[in-house]
A and B are shown apart, each in its own frame.
Chain A
Amino acid sequence: MSGTTESGNVVLRIDDLQLRRGARTVLAGVTFGVERGELVTIMGPSGSGKTTILRAVAGLEPFHRGGIDVDGVTFAGGAPVHRETLRQLRRKVGMVFQFHCLFEHLSALQNICLAPVHAHGVKPDAARRRARELLQTFGIEHRADAFPRELSGGEAQRVAIARALAVDPPLLLMDEPTASLDPQRRGELGELLRRLRDQGRTLLLATHDEDFAREFATRVLRMRDGVVV
């Protein structure tokens, strides 16, 4: 088992993470760390527990044993995560889902502004300015007022990334980011993530895409049967 880092500049540390669903063991003691500025991909066959790790780090999946530390926010398995810990965790982790999960009733700009305004108390004008900057950075400023159903897969993914980055979290999680992209869009995404990494962002991706991982990841973790091998 490997994947731990010894650096003091660790943004994410996972220790002995264990998770069961009924009689089935999904994660059987996962341990690794991710340093600031890394782009780490978790690879493995379907059902190996890649997405479950991301969900556990994001506080969406309760686990039975072990612990997680995200930039100083720690929580352990076997007990519900305290509300205040969850609140702090949400500031540390941004998540981009496989199917983007943009809010259907809101425009791209409104999707990005929702959390800063309502969860983090940013003034609406400032949130809109920041959202437009993000959209401009990702080359989709002209789609600010479009609703999710009007966006292409690549555009929707960029909006989802912008939404996750709107509150400036140190760690960005992405689940199967290349699953619905053609080769050109896939390359553009890789370049975008590389730029984010260059800006000091830390990224943890779950993916099946071997070529993408080889080309853009700084480190690759492989999973099988609920453990990092």
Chain B
Amino acid sequence: MSIDLSIARGDADIGLSGIEDTPARRTTLAVTLPYYEFREVLSVRDGDAARFRTLADLAGRSVATLGGTIAYEILLGAERQHGIHAVSYEDDVHPYSDLVLGRVDAVLLDHVLAERRQRTIAGFTIQPQTVAIGHYVGVLAAGNSPLRDAMNEILRGAMRDGTLERILREWRVWNDDQPTLYAKLLAGEPVQPVIGLDPSTSVVTLTKWDAARRYFPSLLRASVITLALSCLSMALAVGIGVVIATGRVYGGPPVRGLLLAYVELMRGTPILLQLFVLYYGLAAAIRLPAFGAALLGLALNYAAYESEIYRAALEAVSTGQLEAARTLGLTERQVLTLVRAPQAFRLALAPMTNDFVALLKDSSLVSVLTVLELTKQTQIFATNLGSWVLPGTLCAALYLLMSLPLAALARRLERRWKTPST
């Protein structure tokens, strides 16, 4: 999708890299002749080769693929038809490593990708049945058809004189499907973008209203995931943050040093890296589910920021308040829970709300762990529609719907505590 956008923006003239021919691309971009025909194939663990031959065999199972691809569209159809669970990845390596680890039960991807991965990852079988047929094309900006036509001439020439065959053989991806494709193209016969995918599933031919209606339920579901993930992560971050802050204010030097190291580590390294380490890096030792890893990753990262807010808030409560509490006979624990923490909480509320809204948006990062949250779902919608305008607007509206009430609630609480009712 980012190649499509870059081409449409004019960052580059030609986009080429296993780009699939789709109805959406044909509508929004100038698409070249297809130069390669691929098959969507199912890969399963060696031990499951006999029982998982088709998508229909995978009811109730997780099937992985790259997000925003024809394969993903097929899986969404199979979700409705066979009750499988589609899992979207950002790259074409981790679906296979997670398949072998047991996080997913099958992978649906282009045979080129499956065969290439099989050379480096052992333990999975590529099923012989073809699920769908697609084509790789070059893409150019919609207004750049003269260059596209010139490219088509070059491609036809390379098909005729065997240049393409020589290149594809060199890269070990040549097969018998290609001469048939080239013959059709050279004879001027039309080639369908995809064979085996119900064209009615494409949103590109729908009106904007119908497209929105088609995708809105999945955007709403993704919003629920975003909200649930954000709320749970924040709750955990607050809990851990309180413990860290308390340790940093009341603990001895070793405890304070250790907690400071944690805070600096979490604040000083990218959250994306932390998510990768948690989900993929530790997979050999702890195989966390995607949602669990996302929740834990966000919580551990935000706990570091929360702890700094709470520490500063605890230290902002005046010594006079603490001494007054002590002279009244309260224990140190009571001073903390009855006097210091309640006052600190009021000071921390505004930055906490700010962090929660930031977390709501940062939760979009967990799509790299295959969690289908709102931004990821919007990206899929935009890819299939070939435009970001409508999906982006809907996505922004949903984020605002979630964040604005939070901000309003925080303002209300701040007002209430500022001018308490008598």
Contacts and interface: CB of A to CB of B under 8 A. Distances in A.
Q: Are chains A and B native binding partners rather than an unrelated pairing? A: yes
Interface of A: 58-60, 87, 90-91, 93-95, 97, 99, 101-105, 107, 114-115, 118-120, 145-147, 150, 163-164, 167
A209 B343 CA distance: 33
B284 to A, nearest CB: 49
Given A101-B323, A163-B328, 4 more contacts: A97-B320, A101-B318, A114-B330, A118-B330
Contacts of A104: 321, 343
A94 B327 contact: yes
A114 B326 contact: no
A101 B320 CA distance: 6
Interface in B210-227: none
Contacts of B323: 60, 97, 101
B329 A103 contact: no
Given A101-B320, A118-B334, A60 B329 contact: no
A120 B334 CA distance: 12
A147 B338 contact: no
A176 B195 CA distance: 90
- For B318, B324, B339, B342, the residue with the greatest tally of chain A CB atoms inside 10 Å of its CB is B324
A115 B330 contact: yes
B338 A114 contact: yes
B24 to A, nearest CB: 57
A58 B327 contact: yes
A97 B324 contact: yes
B417 interface: yes
A97 B323 CA distance: 9
A156 to B, nearest CB: 12
6 contacts: A102-B324, A103-B325, A103-B339, A146-B422, A163-B328, A167-B329
B190 interface: no
B349 to A, nearest CB: 12
For the complex of A and B, list the 6 residue pairs with the smallest distance between their C-beta atoms, beginning with the closest: A90-B329, A115-B328, A119-B329, A101-B324, A101-B320, A95-B327
B254 interface: no
A105 B328 contact: no
A90 B328 contact: yes
B146 interface: no
Contacts of B325: 103, 114
Given A119-B334, A145-B422, A60 B326 contact: yes
A174 B325 CA distance: 15
Contacts of A59: 326-327
B346 interface: yes
B263 to A, nearest CB: 27
A94 B328 CA distance: 7
Contacts of B342: 105
A58 B320 CA distance: 13
A147 B326 contact: no
Contacts of B327: 58-60, 90, 93-95, 164
Assign chain B's interface to a size class: 20 to 34
B420 interface: yes
A97 B328 CA distance: 12
A203 to B, nearest CB: 15
Contacts of A58: 327
Contacts of B334: 118-119
Interface string B344-361: 001000000000000000
A102 B318 CA distance: 11
A119 B328 contact: yes
Given A97-B324, A146-B422, A147-B420, A120 B343 contact: no
B329 A87 contact: yes
Contacts of B343: 103-105
A167 B327 CA distance: 11
B330 A99 contact: no
Contacts of B328: 90, 114-115, 119, 163-164, 167
A91 B321 contact: no
A158 to B, nearest CB: 15
Contacts of A101: 318, 320-321, 323-324
Contacts of A107: 420, 422
B317 to A, nearest CB: 9
A115 B334 CA distance: 10
Contacts of B321: 101, 103-104
- For B330, B417, B420, the residue with the greatest tally of chain A CB atoms inside 10 Å of its CB is B420
B417 A105 contact: yes
Contacts of B330: 114-115, 118-119
A99 B329 contact: no
Given A105-B346, A105-B417, A118-B330, A147 B324 contact: no
A147 B422 contact: yes
A109 to B, nearest CB: 11
Contact of B320 (A94, A99, A120): A99
A123 B363 CA distance: 47
B90 to A, nearest CB: 47
Contacts of B338: 114, 118
Nearest to B325: A103
Contacts of B329: 87, 90-91, 115, 119-120, 167
A119 B318 CA distance: 21
Nearest to B319: A101
Nearest to B341: A105
A150 B323 CA distance: 22
A159 to B, nearest CB: 12
A7 B361 CA distance: 73
